[in-house]
Amino acid sequence: MKINFRDNSVLILIVVNLFPILGVLIFDWDIFEIVMLYVIETIIVGFYNVLKMSFVRSDKKSFTILFFIFHYNFFILIQSIFVIVLIGGDNVDSMGPDIGQGFHNLFNLFSSRDFKIAILLILISYGMATYKNFIKPKMYVNSNLEKLMFEPYKRIFVQQFMTIGGAFIVMALQASMGFLIILILMKTFFDLRAYHKSHNISYR
């Protein structure tokens, strides 16, 4: 895989993925902040996929988009509750997760300026990639709606398996945050690989 560093979308993608490392090293982010950022990234991926689906000409477009929104967001809802309760609600002084603490930590995240910057970078990154690789070359003209609908799931499962699974390993083993940084770097590699493949992907 050759990385084109002259591609602005690639550069932004790298910055987006490395920002959580700055969060750990500079802004004192913990596991919950990193994992929740990836959950929000999952939401953003779904948003832009709906945008791409809306460009496709199909008699089934309305139903397919509604089905995707329901199914995809149901997955995100379960995932979010799982993260908020078990990771955000983790309390070393108690015997189990503190649900109230989890939602309190979630509220604090959206009060953090650096966390908002991270979300904005993700929005810009996927927005540029969607325009450059799908809208501008008019990929939607010959796209298959059903195939496009399932496209986000492939990368989401890999992403969430690494980050959430890695987070629980860190918590269970009380490992250093350096282990989580390694997972972030691995995710960066997979994202660059997925972006590289997107130039040759067919939605027909």
Which pLDDT tens digit goes with each residue over 44-90?
A: 999 999 999 999 999 899 999 999 999 999 988 888 888 888 788 76
pLDDT at 169: 72
Q: Can you give the pLDDT at residue 156?
A: 72
pLDDT for the residue 8: 73
Alpha-carbon distance of 100 to 180, in angstroms, equals 25
> What's the confidence (pLDDT) of residue 139?
92
**pLDDT score of 44:** 94
pLDDT for the residue 94: 52
Quote the pLDDT of residue 193: 77
pLDDT of residue 113: 92
| In contact, 58 and 145? CB cutoff 8 Å | yes
What is residue 24's predicted lDDT score, i.e. its pLDDT? 84
C-alpha distances in Å from residue 11, one per residue of 14, 41, 84, 103, 195: 5, 17, 31, 34, 12
Kindly report the pTM of this predicted structure: 0.85
Q: What is the pLDDT tens value at each position of the chain, 204 positions in all?
A: 566 667 777 777 788 888 988 888 888 888 888 888 988 999 999 999 999 999 999 989 999 999 999 999 998 888 888 888 878 876 555 555 677 888 888 898 889 999 999 999 999 989 988 998 899 999 999 899 999 999 888 777 766 676 677 777 776 776 666 777 777 887 788 777 777 666 554 445
